[in-house]
Structure 1
Amino acid sequence: MKVLVHNLNPGVVLTSDVFSLTSRPIITRDTELTEEHIEVLKAFSITEVEVKSPKSAAKKQKDEYMTSSTTNTEQNTDFHSLYKKAVIQYKKQFENWQAGTAVDLYQVRLEIVPLLEIALDKPKTILSLHHFSEAQHYIYHHAVSVGLISSFLAKKLSYSKGDIIQLGLAGALIDCGMSKIQPRIFNKRDNLTQSEYEEVKQHPILGYKMLKGLTGIKESVLLSVLQHHEREDGSGYPLGTKGSQLNQYSRIAAIADVFHAMTSERIYRTKQSPFKVLEQMQMDQFGKFDTKILNILVNELTAFSVGTKVELTNGQVGEIVFIDPQSHTRPMVKIDGVDEIIALTKRTDLYIETILT
């Protein structure tokens, strides 16, 4: 049935592709619409679309997802809803840890696994995680998002399903030790004093101690919690571990941690474009991260094709018309509504903010 865009509610499913001025659809059929999708339709001045009840699409969606250890995914496959639920549940867990309660691995698993089922095959979902993050609740958003990004990288590295889930848990738990740091420090809006920074630098060790001895968790998960701030060149903390001494889980978690942190709104600074962050991680941080893993993240998140719709950091929307094979994050973009093509290789002040199609 046809429905006016301004009457749409999240959860309905498109029955046909939605086109704008390009040969590629801006949203494809069988997509279950979220609030973000509806905003995109409005942004492209789409007045009405063909939709159906989400019930008829539910079975198809479930078949495409990985087998879950919970029934939550069967009841709700909307990513954003599951994401928000996971953040709320993680916040409760974190507050319990602050009060001295032991880590409940089963509960953390319940929060993370349903999200993995949806996000693993969708690079654009991984790329959009920073849009959900809120500065005042950053630490909870960060945990959930780092778990998803870590699992995504593990899948691209051809890890087993078990390792993919373990890396999701590792990512979600890397900052559990922050629950033992004074809240006034990690919620501080000003620069930390040297003594405060030294206290923060203890959170990997505190997290390791919180998880040590728990059943159902691999040693590699413990090491990723301990080593996620270590760097390949030995410049990290808390122990200055480097090179071959770093666990592979730790290398993955380190990249996921920095990527999400730099692209998210924080109390003390604004977020940055994911593509600007990827460039910085490749250039400014050369020698600090595992090159193979970082290149996988860059390649997956910049797998553009001609015709892809993107939004730039200045708010302009356009279509990619040429991809520079030497600089995937800086293609040529034809701006909508004007006779202008921007070569991002020459406009170092601009970056791609997000992918629209």
Structure 2
Amino acid sequence: MKIKRSLAKEGDVLAEDIFSMTNHPIMNKHTVLTARHLSVLDRFLIEEIDILRDTVKTEKREKESMRKKEEQNSHEIKDDSFVSIYLQAVKKYKLLFENWRAGALVSILDVRNTIFPAVLKGMDDPRSILMLHHYTKAKEYIYFHAISVAVLSAFLGKRLKLSRGDCLQLALAGALIDCGMAKVSSNLLHKEGPLTSEEMKEIKQHTIMGYNMLKKAAGIKEAVLLGVLQHHEREDGSGYPLGSKGDHLHIFSKILAVSDVYLAMTEERPYRDKQSGFKVLEMMMNDQFGCFDHRVLNSLIDSLSIFSVGTQVKLTNQEIGEIVFIEQAYPTRPMIKLKTSQEIIALKNRRDLFIEEILS
């Protein structure tokens, strides 16, 4: 009897061979399903299978499953916060990425449907952008990073006066900048220690592999392709894969470069804790001067420096304070009145401290 994949369980026996995008079955008739088999079915997006099982028990379980799913959907509809929508996008993107690793082609429509709810919710909200690095799980970094880059890139595109259509295309490019990682050795994706020179050489191929993957996708625009290919290029020519610079870089590439680096430096990684966004902004301004388009980087700094006198903040030493004065020359380092001691400190003179979060 045919049932939905979601109703299959360990111990069920296949009544027919299962095919996907292959000439040979990915699973043979009479296979006794295990947890690994169920995972493979999910990766290949198999929606229905034919099994040998008691009909009455199946129908009862199907009704119960449908009831639970309706309750879950009802709960999800009520929770329309950015965090909820963002986490749903990450979950769906993970499935897409695993399918690419298994050999599936990239569907632009599927990627759009996955990311756009989060992009549209977050692209007008600087506070949501400031919180992105708090959601990332180190072991699933690549999935969180894709959605975060999509949201931040659209956010920056809008502030740089790009059209709404271009902002959404920019978000699409942001979600796809690391699609080529699906073709990189799996052990490199989750390696916790430093990469060898040979491993780094392989990782750097992800821009070209991603470009080649996307050339085959229906409905993709040239700007998206260039964004994916060039997002590791730098204004001074120090990037890769071609060492292009300045006017030879597409505006999408310039925006994606800033978004990618800012988020990569703030997010938790297997080998490093998350970092303050304001600390990272300073590092990008100072340590990596000349690498990024100044219009894009200044737009990010201006957008995220959403302070006003009276704003409550948490510092990297976990102390809470209130902003009492902002110097225009130091937008990320205002004067803070500490809540516990009532001491007023000037962050421009305290290079060991940064703003960790804006509280209110």
Q: TM-score, normalised by structure 2?
A: 0.78
Aligned to 1:298: 301
- Residue of structure 1 in register with 2:358 after alignment: 355
Please tell me whether the aligned partners of residues 77 and 118 of structure 1 are also in contact (alpha carbons under 8 angstroms). no
Which residue identity does 1:185 align to in structure 2?
Answer: L
Q: Name the SS of the counterpart of 1:310 in structure 2.
A: strand
Alignment correspondent of 1:147: 150
In the alignment, structure 1 segments of 5+ residues that lack a partner are 1-72
Shift of 1:341: 1.0
Cα distance in structure 2, aligned partners of 1:75 and 1:176: 32
Q: 2:198 aligns with which of 178, 195, 198?
A: 195
Q: For 1:221 and 1:231, how far apart are their aligned partners in 2?
A: 17
Listed one character per residue, the Cα deviations across residues 294-329 of structure 1 (whole Å, up to 9, x for unaligned) are 000000100211001110000001110000110011
From 317, 320, 323, the equivalent of 1:317 is 320
Q: Are residues 1:223 and 2:229 paired?
A: no
Gaps of 5+ in 2: 1-75
1:269 CA drift (Å): 1.3
1:117 shift after superposition: 2.0
1:104 aligned onto 2:98: no
Aligned with 1:326: secondary structure?
Answer: coil
Residue 64 (structure 2) aligns with = none
Match of 1:180 among 183, 190, 195: 183
Identity across matched positions, percent: 55
In the TM superposition, residue 215 of structure 1 has moved relative to its aligned partner by 2.4
1:320, 1:157 → 2: CA distance? 28
Residue 208 of structure 1 corresponds to which residue in structure 2?
A: 211
Higher-Rg member (1/2)? 2
Query: In 2, distance between residues paired with 1:322 and 1:147?
Result: 33
State yes or no: 1:130 paired with 2:149: no
Give per-residue Cα distances to partners, 1:113-150, cap 9 Å, x unaligned.
Answer: 11122112210101100000010000000000000000
For the residue of structure 2 that corresponds to 1:128, the secondary structure is helix
Residue by residue over 1:70-120, the C-alpha shift from the partner in whole angstroms, topping out at 9 and shown as x without a partner, is xxx976522111111111111111100000000111111111111122112
The answer to whether structure 1 residue 169 and structure 2 residue 172 are counterparts is yes
Aligned equivalents of 1:210, 1:135: Cα separation in 2: 26
Specify the alignment match of 2:85 in structure 1.
82
Q: Which amino acid aligns with 1:87?
A: V
Deviation at 1:183, TM superposition (A): 1.2
Report the secondary structure of 2:322's partner residue.
strand
Instruction: Give me the whole-angstrom Cα distance separating, in 2, the residues matched to 1:85 and 1:116.
Output: 12
* In 2: Cα distance, 1:257 partner to 1:235 partner: 16
CA distance in structure 2 between the aligned counterparts of 1:207 and 1:120, rounded to whole angstroms: 25
> 1: CA distance between counterparts of 2:295 and 2:174?
19
C-alpha contact 2:123 2:155 (8 A) present in aligned 1? yes
Distance (whole Å) between structure 2 residues aligned to residue 161 and residue 77 of structure 1: 22
1:232, CA displacement in angstroms? 0.5
Q: Which of 101, 119, 122 is equivalent to 1:119?
A: 122
2: CA distance between counterparts of 1:284 and 1:193? 24
